[in-house]
Amino acid sequence: MDQLNVLVPPLRFGCIQENLYRGGYPRKVNFPFLESLNLKTIISLTPEPIDSTTDANLDAFAKEHSIRLVHIECAQSGKGKKRGVPMGYTAVLTALDLVIHNKHAPVYIHCLNGGQVTSLIVACLRKVQFWSSIAIFNEFINYTTSITINDRSFVDGFEGEIEVDEDDRVCWLWQGLGRGIASSHPSIKFKGKSLNSLEEQTVGVGV
């Protein structure tokens, strides 16, 4: 009997939202699975960039399938920088700018093991989406063995300015939220093209 062609997802793989995925560092065995996602962008939250020197297999896979590799420098888990975590807020804002716009999707975002580093980015995205702290950290621990006080402090303190192109914004970003909510976010300032439409728009299922 011929062996079945089994698609093997990366370690700790998960679907964050439509056309947005997370997980660990892609290995060669994961490439057929990733190919099935029709990815346009891979965001690597790693200490070193991915290229023909550091990872010839992944670099070749991305080139073969016209996938853009984006490197955002982050330390290894447990070897933190600011606030005892492996990244700063600038790295988070850079990643969020990529995941909230359709022109980059579908997107796969990964760190070395799919745990703390990726979870911090996702947690900050959930904060932008107005998730409660309980919901954010419940999701966090689904992909990690634990959550530290430094992780919590980093997410709770996350703030910054995000430019949103309303003509290209992913549909799920503020799905279900009422009129004017996004423009009144307590810690994130949004700016950009057609952002005033947020004041007029009511987004939601069945609305």
Q: Which residues are designated catalytic? A: 111
Cβ contact 74:117 at 8 Å: yes
Q: Which helix (H) or strand (E) holds 61?
A: helix 56-64
Closest CA to 155 of 124, 126, 125: 124
| Strand pairing category for 14-17 and 68-71 | unpaired
Q: Look up residue 96 and give its two tokens.
A: 């969020």
| Strand pairing category for 20-23 and 14-17 | antiparallel
